[in-house]
Amino acid sequence: MEDRTELSSLGEFALIQRLIGTFTNEQDSTIKGVGDDAAVIGSGEMKTVISTDQLIEGIHFDLSYMPLKHLGYKAVAVNLSDILAMNVVPSQIMVSIAASNRFSVEALEELYLGIRTCCEVYKVDMVGGDTSSSTSGLVINITAIGFEKEDKIVYRSGSKEGDLICLSGDLGGAYVGLQLLEREKSVFKENPEIQPELDGHDYVLERQLKPEPRFDVVRQLATIGVKPTSMIDVSDGLSSELFHLGKSASLGATIYEDKVPIDPATMLASEELKMDGLTSALNGGEDYELLFTIDQSDFEKIKDEKDIHIIGHMTDQGFHLVNNVGQQIELKAQGWKAFESS
Amino acid sequence: MEDRTELSSLGEFALIQRLIGTFTNEQDSTIKGVGDDAAVIGSGEMKTVISTDQLIEGIHFDLSYMPLKHLGYKAVAVNLSDILAMNVVPSQIMVSIAASNRFSVEALEELYLGIRTCCEVYKVDMVGGDTSSSTSGLVINITAIGFEKEDKIVYRSGSKEGDLICLSGDLGGAYVGLQLLEREKSVFKENPEIQPELDGHDYVLERQLKPEPRFDVVRQLATIGVKPTSMIDVSDGLSSELFHLGKSASLGATIYEDKVPIDPATMLASEELKMDGLTSALNGGEDYELLFTIDQSDFEKIKDEKDIHIIGHMTDQGFHLVNNVGQQIELKAQGWKAFESS
């Protein structure tokens, strides 16, 4: 018998390393390949910034509580967020859909309506892709593209010790929204007569079902003349993203509990679910906010900016949270694992 | 009850029209969106030419006779071919894979080995993508990218009446190879003791299992100073591609049976399978040769070029084959239908 290593026995990063670690780049037009939110390629002055993502039914989304229109919108939004995380405004997407015969034409129209709505809101053009059948379920692949001069592009790896850590918006809402939807799904499974109890939770549900890519933040930074030293979007949770920024620069980070922005609606829903709001913010993911570092000399420019919060600073090593009574707690990255056995 | 239209009730083109016909483009950087082999986007002198394709197990490939290494190679090759069909040499790809737990790490390594081999042969960089789990089967999405000046890019739609129709290589082999593999699969199903009878069919099997993208043809055209007036790659069969070139220019086309290049090995295998070699060439698909038109003034430059065949000319209307006894036969497009019910 040949060796057989189960996919679930390796973590996401170890698996990717094993599969693509032997690839090398030969083209002068490859400026940044694998390893950031997007690749940077091209030979002219304007570089092409490009990212692709595949969403699989039953793995990345659950149609029992995700309406198809929202799914289409979200699929586009999260891909646009990858380009924004390079400090670049995306301008085009390509969309490939595979659907089984379980889906009607009308169902796919709902999906594409969501895709089109997101394109219209953010003035992004859909320039290609395909639609084909699938043997089971729904698969969505979106490629997002933007164009920018090389000196404007921001990578994960550029931070220096002492740089200030900034975050747009607030965290934890998308994860708490997901927990609410999961709770209602299991209640419904046990008793389909019971109406879902989602009243008063509009904010966290919208954070989960209809995340908005932060075009405004990238434009805001350009307006005030701040180029971050590093940037990433919060897809896997604040802790995990802090680790990406720190490790790629061989640094650590310290953040402060009282600076981590959490919306009151997120705290309220967390309490109802008997969850800790801060844990949701640190490990929840899917908020698609922008996490970035700036040089201390940019502090004056950014300190009064709306919806941007300074939550800590880069250190020489270690990842820590200083809690509200001044204790320093070690952070753990608990991002989503693609092949986790459950 | 809401209306329910089955996906299988619409053809591929009608479905795509219904799903994305309402999308509009707003970006100045969108030069060509949906409707060609690839999109052309970008704001600088060098344009980005980009195409994406999704391959689904059980729909686009059958692992019972397609080794994973070949599948990886072919998935890359056919996507590179879409960029070459714009007269552009591709330089990067992005790869997203979703695989169920049925696949081991070693199996995915085979797949990526094929991907890497094709990248190395054609000096194309793999710059991104992701690997995730799937609830069933294998899904491969590849995005291919190239960079070129706008005036070098060739579209499907540029031909004029009287332009000569040219074709690289030969046709029908990939389809005949597929029929051989299908035959052996059904023989094997009935009696697993019987060894496959594939001896002597290396050529058509290789055409099916390991198609080569025609980088050489795009480079050859640049060397001899010929810019085609229109171009497409042969993925769905010669007839279907001729229709694309003709209809996009509001023209027709006439080709000649004795000019359609078919390899002797393809003819031999066709006979063994009791199939008509010409029909395989016209309707078979998956040869990934380049079909293009040139201005008559370029005839002298191209007439002695190796592996390029002049097979007919563009007319004012109608699609015809002139057979070997001089009869004019109407061509029918019989391309692959994505949602055909079977």
Which chain A residue has the Cα nearest residue B339?
A133
Give SS3 for A263: coil
Scan for tokens 């060609």, then name that residue. B36
Q: What is the DSSP letter of B337?
A: -
Scan for tokens 């609606």, then name that residue. A265
| Residue A329 touches chain B, beta carbons under 8 Å | no
Q: What is the DSSP string of B270-316?
A: HHHTT--HHHHHHH------EEEEE-GGGHHHHTT-TTEEEEEEEES
Contacts of B150 (CB under 8 A, 6+ apart): B31, B40, B45, B47
| Residue B48 touches chain A, beta carbons under 8 Å | yes
Residue length of chain A:
342
For helices B264-272 and B202-209, what crossing angle results, to 10°?
100
| Residue B69 touches chain A, beta carbons under 8 Å | no
Rounded CA gap, A81 and A234, in Å? 9
The residues with which B328 forms a beta bridge, in sequence order, are B322
Structure tokens at B304: 């002695």
Mean pLDDT, chain B, integer: 92
Burial class (CB in 10 A: 0-12, 13-18, 19+), B100: middle
Which amino acid is present at B237?
G
Rounded CA gap, A254 and B53, in Å? 43
CATH 1.10.3720.10 correct for B7-151: no
The residue among A240 and A339 whose pLDDT is bigger is A240
Strand A125-133 versus strand A90-99 pairing type: parallel
The residue among B39 and A132 whose pLDDT is bigger is B39
Q: What percent of chain B has pLDDT over 90?
A: 82
Q: What percent of chain A has pLDDT over 70?
A: 96
Q: What is the DSSP letter of B104?
A: B
Structure tokens at B113: 């080995």
Domain boundaries of chain A, sorted by first residue: 7-152, 164-330
* ipTM given for this complex: 0.91
HEC-encoded secondary structure of A130-151? EEEECCCCEEEEEEEEEEEEHH
B-contacting residues in A 132-171 (Cβ below 8 Å): 132-137, 139, 141, 143, 145, 147
pLDDT greater than 80 at residue B133: yes
Cβ atoms of B50 and B32 within 8 Å: the answer is no
Which pLDDT score is estimated for B334? 64
Least confident window among A86-100, B189-203, B307-321: B189-203
Structure tokens at B184: 């052996």
Half-sphere exposure of B47 (CA within 13 A, CB side): 23
Q: Across residues B67-74, what is the average pLDDT?
A: 96
The residues with which B318 forms a beta bridge, in sequence order, are none
Per residue in A118-137, pLDDT tens? 999 999 999 998 888 888 78
Cβ atoms of A173 and A288 within 8 Å: the answer is no
Which pLDDT score is estimated for A337? 42
pLDDT greater than 70 at residue A335: no
Q: Do B133 and A98 touch (CB under 8 A)?
A: no
The candidate with the shortest Cα–Cα distance to B177, out of B272, B241, B260, is: B272
pLDDT greater than 90 at residue A25: yes
* Alpha-carbon gap: B12 to the closest alpha carbon of chain A (Å): 8
Which pLDDT score is estimated for B337? 42
Q: Do B53 and A10 touch (CB under 8 A)?
A: no
| Residue A317 touches chain B, beta carbons under 8 Å | no
Return the CATH fold of A7-152: 60s Ribosomal Protein L30; Chain: A; (3.30.1330)
* Chain A interface disruption, residue of B52, B89, B122, B126, most A CBs within 10 A: B52
CATH 3.90.650.10 correct for B164-330: yes
Q: Across residues B75-93, what is the average pLDDT?
A: 98
CB atoms within 10 A of CB A271: 12
Per residue in B134-185, pLDDT tens? 887 899 999 999 999 999 999 999 999 999 999 999 999 999 999 999 998 8
* Alpha-carbon gap: A6 to the closest alpha carbon of chain B (Å): 5
Cβ atoms of A285 and A335 within 8 Å: the answer is yes
For helices A202-209 and A264-272, what crossing angle results, to 10°?
100
A-contacting residues in B 247-276 (Cβ below 8 Å): none
| Residue A296 touches chain B, beta carbons under 8 Å | no
The residues with which A254 forms a beta bridge, in sequence order, are A313, A320
Cβ atoms of A41 and A50 within 8 Å: the answer is yes
Q: pLDDT-based confidence at A336, cuts 50/70/90?
A: very low
